[in-house]
Structure 1
Amino acid sequence: MTGRIASLGMYDHPAQHAANDRLWSAIAAVLRERRVAQVPDRLDRARDVHAIWRDPALLFGQACGYPLIADPTLDLRVLAFPIYAGQESGSVIVARADDPRGSVATFRGSRAAINDRQSNTGMNLFRATIAPFAGQGAFFADVVETGAHRASIVAVGTGKADLAAIDRVTYAAIARFEPTLVAGLKIVAPSPASPSLPFVTAAGTDAQTVAALRSALDHVAADPALAAVRETLFLAGIIPAEPDALTPISTLEAEAVRAGYPTLR
């Protein structure tokens, strides 16, 4: 195998680049101590994360949970789940602060923004939040795909959309590092809770390397020298992956289907 890849692109605000680089350097050091071959020196920021997930050379990455349960062609192995400080896993449903509507149900006929139809926090949790109020038809007048949570925040803030579901960790990062972007927004409701975005490796990664990756994650979660790194990334801990850990994601999808709302619209 040549050209192994590492990525932390899911939560990698420019203000967090240095922290993610240090986190990866610490993981990489443990992997090299455990004699893992061809450990990359740097994180891959050149490619879209969706392409990285499909690369059999993926040594370490972080993936959205919804594609893992919805796309049988996505061949990844879940390593562990991060815990984020002060952030219940899920999304916040946001609108402009000056919008008089105060509950999700009152936004019927409005415009929604989503980052991606395959996003758990941007679409699946949004759909689960809307499903109890939607009935059998469309709830929104329009749903625009923005390509990123930050772009969805901008769409709501500039009036191009009225409502969006924003990943809680992403929202916290933007509130910290770009507070003016969220200054004109309000949180209308929380989404249902959901598993955090798991750390993953390619499904073909050998068992010895998987064990080394899990050992490295245990190390970086506890190393006092990385306390400032973890704080910058909101990273409070890392827990082992249970076999059924992603089940709540598929359960929320199934409940929306049963409610007659299989598609966010």
Structure 2
Amino acid sequence: MIAALQMYDWPEVREATDRWWKAMADGLGVQVALARPAEFTDPWFRDDLLFAQTCGYPFTHALKGKVDYVGTPHYAADGCDGADYRSIVFAREGRPLEGFRGSVAAVNTPDSMSGMLALKLVFAPLAEQGRFFGRAVETGGHLASLAAVQAGRADVCAIDCVCVEMARRYRPSALEGLVEVARSPQVPGLPWITRAGDVGKIRMALRQVFADPALAEVRAALLLTGFSELPLSAYDAITEREAAMERAGGLRLL
């Protein structure tokens, strides 16, 4: 079996991530080390997936009906509200959103809720025939999007608020010279999923690691404060917002 937690697996918190997963694995009675494949999406599609965290957009699109939902973590981050989160839009200077017409947008990946769809939801109301930005560049990750805006290769980007909080705590240089210009609507956060695991047993192990006082420092390092077991229908907020945006004319990015 395979387990992977690469969505927020920054080098600064890798030790904490390993300790958190070790406690989870012990609770599940398995000896499965965390995998960190070069293509971080690969584990999501494996039949032997024990535990992983995915993005809400793949969860409601490419993975829909192919994985079992486990839960949605809560994070101590500005922009999070329980299991919900949002993206923060950054630029090098503050201006009304209309002032970014014709500019360059940085997008982490085409299937990202926080870096792609969130950006569309913010700027689509200003689009004309699906156009607003002059062009978009794909960066491969949130930190790379921030760097692109800092360096002037792009003018605006949308960043997952948990990543923003991690940058403030562990890598403040990633935000230097950038200002917040908007926030996206809230949607359910990045879900934990399984294919080969027992959802009930995994949830029991999660309750144990969140209740264990010996893991308080680990949870704090990872910004974790708890988790929710949401109904699957909660994630309809993502597809419904996307559909409403497209009906209104949409916004082309990549």
TM-score, normalising length from structure 1? 0.89
What are the equivalent positions in structure 2 for 1:93-242 lying under 5 Å apart?
93-96=89-92, 99=93, 101-202=94-195, 205=196, 209-242=198-231
TM-superposed deviation, 1:42 = 1.6
Which aligned segments of 4 or more residues in structure 1 are displaced greater than 4 angstroms? none
Q: CA deviation at 1:72?
A: 5.5
**1:7 and 2:1 aligned:** no
Measured in 2, the distance between the counterparts of 1:228 and 1:73 equals: 34
Percent of residue pairs bearing the same amino acid type: 41
CA distance in 2, matches of 1:65, 1:73: 10
Q: 2:74 aligns with which of 73, 76, 83?
A: 83
Gaps in structure 1 of 5+ consecutive residues: 33-38
Aligned residues between the structures: 249
Alpha-carbon deviation of 1:159?
0.5
1:70 to partner: Cα distance: 2.0
Deviation at 1:262, TM superposition (A): 4.9
SS of equivalent residue, structure 1 residue 244: helix
Counterpart of 1:35 in structure 2 is: none
Q: Could you report, residue by residue, the CA deviation over 1:62-111 in whole angstroms, capped at 9, with x for unpaired residues?
A: 00010121226772111000011133201100011xx3x42222211000
* Structure 2 counterpart SS, 1:221: helix
Corresponding position: 1:53 with 2:53: no
Query: Cα offset for 1:178?
Result: 1.3
Counterpart CA distance in 1 for 2:63 and 2:72 is 20
Distance 1:164 1:67 in 2: 20
Deviation per CA, 1:150-193, whole angstroms, max 9, x where unpaired? 10010001100000001111111122111112121111111111
CA, structure 1 residues 156+212, in 2 after alignment: closer, same or farther (shift >3 Å)? same
Give distance in 2, aligned partners of 1:60 and 1:170. 21
CA distance in 1, matches of 2:130, 2:236: 27
The gaps in structure 2 that reach 5 residues or longer are none
Q: Taking structure 2 as the reference length, what is the TM-score of the superposition?
A: 0.93
Output the CA distance in 1 between the equivalents of 2:38 and 2:65.
Answer: 17
Of 256, 262, 265, 2:245 maps to: 256
